[in-house]
Structure 1
């Protein structure tokens, strides 16, 4: 590094207190810059908090020990179609834990139903899952617990509902009757699970659901629990070796992760372009504000040059001042989002056409994205505004001349 560069950096270090003081003295200009950045950061953080919270809800809901079989290349569980004979064939698969004395597999029928939310005119789409007793025994390994009423009876239009669903949907109180697909169903129980996302479904007898929704001789999915030491690859090899199977094998965690991933990406695809458009406006506001500030400081800048400070050092000081303001805006915007948004409940329609409730999440990744946006705006805005500073050094001799 040349002596000239060393001198410029030492002069810049000496101007750091000046840059901080200028930012504090120019209150309105500083407030304008901070406010512009805060607006962009709040918009960006809103989308990021939704995306992070929604993805975290789905990622934490499933289990790596629960194996799920869907119809081959079925994009979602509701659109899957499995022949009942495949459920019988799967009973011979190695590495599956017994769910009851006679079965290792829970064949299930999955349909989407819609009911009105409590206190609102909007409707909530939820999943009605038909299952045999093995399905409930399987979910006991995920914290299934009946907290009110009793379990549905086979061959009867009865259902139990998740507690989270009962809190949101109208008419799901114990003993109430609701009409779905032209059949009158009775709510006979309320259950809880280890994850709130798993509490957003209706459970009913598989034959009753098949009859009501005309799904005779058809399942949407097969569920099983892997024994200790067993792997999904082993189960997948068993299935692929038998041409009678027309299913894809995955874990329940992968199933839910896939459910939320596309929707989470859509949120991001909407959030970043909007934040980018606002960032252009933010950049224009920061640039214009700093140009006005520099215009009002011409006399002070001349004094600094007369004192021997290089124009490059002064430009770095202006750049630092701009960065301080934009980073402050990012920190304040993220702090406001953390205080008023983090942990708030929200709902969104997921990939299975079901209304998913999740918790908005403002974490370190959101903060880092906000800081990245602020630093980018600060660097570009500060660099362009510093170009208004003359590139020559004013000295007493040049002034007298």
Structure 2
């Protein structure tokens, strides 16, 4: 029976620790600031607070003698924060790359109900009807700024390990350059319409082999010449571009997948959407390009966030128990010191706060170390992953201040929970027994 009780008692302790950590993590920054100000005021303006500060100074002064146990807490929490921030930074980087693609002044038109270009079809006889719809801006030559496009997934060897990797080969119309003004040719030139030439994004160049300007790439049993490289700061940097009227026949594609258009003023999108809905021949939907690419990032970003939190929680539970063991050992080793303070008039609350502050200080050091390592190792690190079109999207990890703050909250939460039970034990330590044992 005692074993059963101990089992359920231990299980209840784990549940309490996890719940306490979750509650702390979800607190908004102003709630954390309010708690910190309340504790600071108590320490500064009350007698118990002054005693707690004095006891904390004594504990901190003894940390060098307990560097082994202290380093367990610091390193354990640093590991949790480093892994958590790195996982979340991956999701943030992917989301930022796709969110930076497109804008509110352009729209992408897909087949009705399609979630991505890969499952959309726009026939060639529909394209002239689409391009002349109201809401689409016209250029200086009086023609609509419209680019019929298709996307073909091709395989290229990865520079990392030489394995075949999916890459998006995009066929674009003449207006594609005007629709993406942030896209700049940084080496070579644009492809010549009607020729089997391509330009490649810098991100694709860095990740995949054989894309240097001047080289030829064999795709669909045809030789394509790389004539230029471009930068755009968004997901298009992961792509290869060519003339849509050359790419389509090469892959026996008789239809387009999307039409990207420039919108005519603030009401352009409303006019375009209304015109599409009113024409039963088309059965097409439109979205602003910003909304379309932001939507493409939702699923993976959510998955990476959940995965990071799950892994972080598992590691955090381990770090909490490491902190518990270390602080229990520290309290046991300082039993005579704590008993002496109690005999001198230190009540339970100052002792509890002193042990808690000591643990929180170690947790803060671990959090700062983990955040620093994550920032130095991962911020700006370039990787690629599969996007919704089953091709690689090249992006950079993004370690933002918000993520660093999240990591520090986790660190302080681990310290808060990990120091609670040892602090309560220290406060309940019988003075006479502790002095006699010492």
Task: State if a TM-score over 0.5 links the two structures.
Answer: yes
Take 1:9 and 1:173, find their aligned partners in 2: how far apart are those partners? 67
Q: Find out whether 1:138 has 2:176 as its counterpart.
A: no
Note closer, same or farther for the CA distance 1:291–1:393 as it changes in structure 2 (3 Å cut). closer
Q: Which residue of 1 aligns with 2:207?
A: 168
Equivalent residue in structure 2 for 1:102, among 127, 143, 160 = 143
Q: Which residue of 2 aligns with 1:178?
A: 217
Take 2:189 and 2:125, find their aligned partners in 1: how far apart are those partners? 34
Q: Find out whether 1:289 has 2:289 as its counterpart.
A: no
Q: Find out whether 1:200 has 2:238 as its counterpart.
A: yes
Once the two structures are superposed, what CA deviation does each residue of 1:49-79 show, in whole Å capped at 9, x if it has no partner? 2112221122122222111111122122122
Q: Which residue of 2 aligns with 1:93?
A: 133
Take 2:57 and 2:421, find their aligned partners in 1: how far apart are those partners? 22
What SS does the aligned partner of 2:150 have? strand
Take 1:168 and 1:392, find their aligned partners in 2: how far apart are those partners? 61
Between 307-316 and 53-62, report the one with greater CA deviation.
53-62
Shift of 1:332: 0.9
Q: Tell me, yes or no, if the aligned pair for 1:334 and 1:370 is still in contact at 8 Å.
A: yes
Q: Find out whether 1:387 has 2:424 as its counterpart.
A: yes
Report the count of equivalent residues: 390
Q: Which residue of 2 aligns with 1:76?
A: 116
Equivalent residue in structure 1 for 2:162, among 109, 118, 121 = 121
Q: Tell me, yes or no, if the aligned pair for 1:108 and 1:129 is still in contact at 8 Å.
A: yes
Once the two structures are superposed, what CA deviation does each residue of 1:87-131 show, in whole Å capped at 9, x if it has no partner? 222233223222554333211111111101236312332211112
Take 2:423 and 2:226, find their aligned partners in 1: how far apart are those partners? 71
Equivalent residue in structure 1 for 2:70, among 30, 33, 41 = 30
TM-score by length of 2: 0.82
Shift of 1:289: 0.5
Q: Say what the alpha-carbon RMSD is for the aligned residues.
A: 2.5
Once the two structures are superposed, what CA deviation does each residue of 1:144-181 show, in whole Å capped at 9, x if it has no partner? 43731452332x43333234323432223344333323
In structure 2, list runs of 5 or more residues that go unmatched.
Answer: 1-44
Shift of 1:135: 2.5
Q: Which residue of 1 aligns with 2:249?
A: 211
1:363-378 map, 5 Å: 363-378=400-415
Take 2:224 and 2:377, find their aligned partners in 1: how far apart are those partners? 40
1:241-320 map, 5 Å: 241-320=278-357
Between 386-395 and 158-167, report the one with greater CA deviation.
386-395
Take 1:390 and 1:159, find their aligned partners in 2: how far apart are those partners? 73
Note closer, same or farther for the CA distance 1:11–1:94 as it changes in structure 2 (3 Å cut). same
Take 1:153 and 1:329, find their aligned partners in 2: how far apart are those partners? 57
Note closer, same or farther for the CA distance 1:289–1:106 as it changes in structure 2 (3 Å cut). same
TM-score by length of 1: 0.89
Take 2:65 and 2:237, find their aligned partners in 1: how far apart are those partners? 55
Equivalent residue in structure 1 for 2:197, among 135, 158, 161 = 158
Note closer, same or farther for the CA distance 1:291–1:177 as it changes in structure 2 (3 Å cut). same
Take 1:226 and 1:339, find their aligned partners in 2: how far apart are those partners? 42
Note closer, same or farther for the CA distance 1:295–1:174 as it changes in structure 2 (3 Å cut). closer
Shift of 1:134: 2.5
Take 1:66 and 1:254, find their aligned partners in 2: how far apart are those partners? 10
Between 36-45 and 183-192, report the one with greater CA deviation.
183-192
Between 361-370 and 185-194, report the one with greater CA deviation.
185-194
Note closer, same or farther for the CA distance 1:377–1:251 as it changes in structure 2 (3 Å cut). same
Take 1:50 and 1:87, find their aligned partners in 2: how far apart are those partners? 38
Between 244-253 and 321-330, report the one with greater CA deviation.
244-253
Q: Tell me, yes or no, if the aligned pair for 1:47 and 1:271 is still in contact at 8 Å.
A: yes
Take 2:171 and 2:101, find their aligned partners in 1: how far apart are those partners? 19
Structure 1 runs (4+) greater than 6 angstroms displaced: none
In structure 1, list runs of 5 or more residues that go unmatched.
Answer: none
Between 160-169 and 335-344, report the one with greater CA deviation.
160-169
Note closer, same or farther for the CA distance 1:242–1:24 as it changes in structure 2 (3 Å cut). farther
